[in-house]
Amino acid sequence: MGETANVYELQRQEQRPLTAVQVRAQVNLIQEVMKSVMQDGQHYGVIPGAGSKPTLLKPGAEKLMLTFQLSPDLAVEDLSTSDAHRYRVTCRICDRTGNFLGAGLGEASSNEEKYKWRAAVCPEEFDETPEDRKRKKWKKGYGGGAAQAIKQIRTEPADIANTILKMAKKRALVDAALTVTGASDIFTQDIEDMPPEMFTRKDVVPEKQPPKEPARKAHAEKTSQAELSASCLINDVTHKDGKKKDGTEYRVYAITDEDGTKYATFSETFADLAQWAKENGIEAEITYVIGQYGNKIINLTAEAREPGSEG
């Protein structure tokens, strides 16, 4: 009887509201993890033109769940039609004893702009595609240059079904992590999924960015870090041309994955392979090091997988 009473009393204590000190301790812990464990551009990142609050990325959400020893339980709702794949995922969060703490929702569809269309592999493919399944997409020229028309055709929904499911899962996971840990005042969510045009409107005024800390000697330690690897879907491949002090011209490529993480390379081969992986919805394996100017690609591979296989 005494033991039962003690368990009941413990349950009553666990249901009591957190004190201000406990809430502050939790916020401090999140900030400490963000400072000591998470990396800008890998676990979170500030989206240009979208304010100064960082966006929480999937690797960061996983770090928060590890910190608080949370267990996600995913339930998938298939809302697909004959012309599109669409999934809604509910992510229930429990603590290590199985107590339900909260949930998050995430949804993704192959009708989203970045999934619905892909670049035509050649002029012949574009010409032979039915009129209702092709278009010309106008994009702003790089560096203020003339606008560019990109010939695009409809993506086959079945080719990216697994990609859509993974994106819905990611969105639900991030939403759940923010909700349960109370970190929404520190991070935001899904801004990296919005089209770039949303950040170039006149009514969107970027918040003033905090001044950067002066460079420290720790840079030397960063550039000597061991090689890291990432398996990801490619969201964008861009390039920038420049000229060195000695007059030598160069072109640097920026490869952005589905979570908004950026990788840089001077290799046209890596850039072409990343573009191919993007157009075909294939995961790329990126080996990189964290250098003075960000994530520097050491190697990049992408292979077609059998339908239904996991990446």
CB 76 within 8 A of CB 100: no
* Residue 74: alpha-carbon gap to chain centroid: 19
Residue with token string 């990609």: 163
Which DSSP letter does residue 212 get?
A: P
Strands 284-291 and 294-302, bridge-based pairing? antiparallel
CB 73 within 8 A of CB 91: yes
* Residue 255: alpha-carbon gap to chain centroid: 13
Q: Show pLDDT as tens, one digit a residue, over the chain (311 residues).
A: 444 344 334 344 455 677 777 777 877 888 888 888 888 877 887 766 556 678 888 888 888 899 889 999 999 999 999 889 999 999 999 988 888 999 999 999 999 988 898 888 888 999 999 999 999 888 765 445 566 788 899 999 998 999 999 999 999 999 999 888 888 777 765 544 545 544 443 434 444 444 444 444 333 333 345 678 888 888 889 988 888 888 788 888 999 988 788 899 988 888 888 888 888 878 888 988 887 778 889 888 887 544 344 43
Give CA–CA dist 161/39, Å, rounded: 30
Q: Give pTM, 2 decimals.
A: 0.56
Residue with token string 């339930």: 75
Looking at the structure, give the CATH architecture of the domain made up of residues 217-311.
Beta Barrel (2.40)
| Per-domain boundaries in the chain | 1-110+155-208, 217-311
Give CA–CA dist 290/87, Å, rounded: 35
Residue with token string 């592999």: 121
Give CA–CA dist 35/79, Å, rounded: 39
